[in-house]
Amino acid sequence: MNAILALEDGTIVKGKGFGVEKTVEGELVFNTSMTGYVEALTDPSYAGQILMMTYPLIGNYGVTNEDYESDKIQVEGFVVKDLCRNPSNWRMKKSLEDFLIENEKPGIENVDTRMLTRKVRIYGTMKAILTVFEGKPELSYEELIKKAKEQPHISERDLVDKVCVKNLTEYNVNGKYSVVLIDCGVKRSMINQLLKRGINLYIVPFNYPIKEIMELKPDAVFLSNGPGDPVRVKPVIEIVKKLAGKTPIAGICLGHQLICLALGAKTFKLKFGHRGSNQPVKDFESGRVFISSQNHGFAVDKESLKKTGLEVTQINLNDGTVEGVRHKELPIFSVQYHPEAGPGPHDTFFFFDEFLKLLNGEAFA
83, β-bridge pairs:
58
CA atoms of 28 and 124, how far apart (whole Å): 9
Calpha distance 134→155 (Å, rounded): 33
215 is catalytic: no
- Is the preceding omega at residue 248 within 30 degrees of 0, hence cis? no
Q: Which residues contact 150 (CB under 8 A, 6 or more apart)?
A: none
- The sign of the torsion formed by the CA atoms of 127, 133, 135, 136 equals negative
**Whole-Å CA distances, 21 to 105, 235, 299:** 8, 37, 35
> Is 296 one of the annotated active-site residues of the chain?
no
The active-site residue, picked from 256, 274, 327, 338, is 338
**Residue among 76, 109, 323, 340 flagged as catalytic:** 340
Residues 6+ apart with CB under 8 A from 160: 184, 185, 206, 226, 227, 228, 232, 233, 254
92 class by beta-carbon count within 10 Å (0-12 exposed, 13-18 middle, 19+ buried)? middle
Nearest to 171 by CA among 160, 158, 186: 186
Catalytic, 274? Answer no
Distance CA 43, CA 34 (A): 16
Contact 226, 254 (CB under 8 A): yes
Q: Are strands 199-205 and 169-171 parallel, antiparallel or unpaired?
A: antiparallel
**Half-sphere exposure (Cβ direction) of 51: Cα atoms closer than 13 Å:** 31
Catalytic residue (one of 164, 184, 253, 260): 253
What is the rounded distance in angstroms from the CA atom of residue 119 to the CA atom of residue 356? 43
**Straight-line distance from the first to the last Cα atom of the chain, in angstroms, rounded to the nearest whole number:** 61
Bridge partners (DSSP) listed for residue 249: 221, 332
Could you give the residue numbers annotated as active site? 253, 338, 340
